[in-house]
C-alpha cells in the first residue's frame, strides 16, 4: 500500500459505547469518510444467515474486506465497528477503543431494546475489556488508544483527542 498523506482510523468498542456518535462527529469535523461497517455490510450484501440467539445476521468478513480494500488505500477513513481483529493491520494508523461505565452502558443498551443473553454478553464484553484486548493483540501497541466515553464532556474531549492525534500524525508523516 502506498504511503498515505492522511491516516485511516478504526473506532471500535462494545455496542453502545458511542462509536457511531464519535465517528459521525469526527467525520463532520475532519471531512474524513465515515465507514459504518454494519451499514456497509447490508449495502454490499455481506450478511449471511441469521443468528437467533443474538438476533442479528453473521458478517461475511472476507467479502466485506474485498470490498473495502480499495476504499482504504488513500487514507482519510474512519472505520466504525464493534470488532477489529479481522481487519488487516496495514489499514490503520490509529485504533481508538471506546469504553464506558457498565451502568451507563446498561442504560444505553436497554434503551436500544437489548435483553437477555445479548444484553448480558455485551455488558460482560465491556467488563472484561474484550475489545481493548482484541485491539491490543491485533495492532501495534503504540497505535491503540482507549478513550472513556460516559458523558457529553468526555465525548467532546475524545473528539479533540482524536483530531489532535490526526494533526500530529500528519506532521510526523510528512
* 137 in a labelled binding site: no
pTM: 0.94
* 113 in a labelled binding site: no
Q: Is the pLDDT of residue 81 over 80?
A: yes
Tell me which residue has cell 466515553.
149
pLDDT of residue 172: 93
Q: Is the pLDDT of residue 1 over 60?
A: no
Predicted confidence (pLDDT) per residue in 91-105, tens digit: 999 999 999 999 999
Q: What is the mean pLDDT of the chain?
A: 96
* 18 in a labelled binding site: yes
* 76 in a labelled binding site: no
- Class of the CATH-defined domain 9-38+76-172: alpha beta
Q: Is the pLDDT of residue 25 over 90?
A: yes
Q: Is the pLDDT of residue 54 over 80?
A: no
* 19 in a labelled binding site: yes
Q: What is the mean pLDDT of residues 68-94?
A: 97
Domain range summary for the chain, segments of one domain joined by +:
9-38+76-172
pLDDT of residue 2: 59
For residues 99 and 136, is the Cβ–Cβ distance under 8 A?
no
- Other Cβ atoms less than 10 A from the Cβ of 58: the count is 13
* 20 in a labelled binding site: yes
Predicted confidence (pLDDT) per residue in 120-151, tens digit: 999 999 999 999 999 999 999 999 999 999 99
Amino acid at each position: 500500500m502506498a504511503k498515505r498523506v492522511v491516516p485511516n482510523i478504526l473506532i471500535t468498542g462494545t455496542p453502545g459505547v458511542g462509536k457511531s456518535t464519535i465517528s459521525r462527529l469526527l467525520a463532520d469535523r475532519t471531512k474524513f469518510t465515515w465507514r459504518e461497517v454494519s451499514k456497509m455490510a447490508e449495502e454490499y450484501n455481506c450478511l449471511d444467515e441469521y443468528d437467533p440467539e443474538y438476533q442479528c445476521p453473521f458478517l461475511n468478513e472476507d467479502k466485506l474486506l474485498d470490498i473495502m480494500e480499495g476504499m482504504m488505500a488513500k487514507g482519510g477513513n474512519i472505520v466504525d465497528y464493534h470488532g477489529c481483529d479481522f481487519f488487516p493491520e496495514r489499514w490503520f494508523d490509529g485504533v481508538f477503543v471506546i469504553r464506558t461505565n457498565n451502568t451507563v452502558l446498561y442504560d444505553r443498551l436497554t434503551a436500544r431494546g437489548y435483553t437477555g443473553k445479548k444484553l448480558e454478553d455485551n455488558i460482560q464484553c465491556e467488563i472484561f475489556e474484550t475489545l481493548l484486548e482484541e485491539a491490543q493483540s491485533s495492532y501495534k501497541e503504540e497505535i491503540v488508544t482507549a478513550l472513556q466515553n460516559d458523558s457529553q464532556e468526555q465525548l467532546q474531549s475524545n473528539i479533540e483527542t482524536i483530531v489532535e492525534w490526526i494533526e500530529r500524525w500528519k506532521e510526523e508523516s510528512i
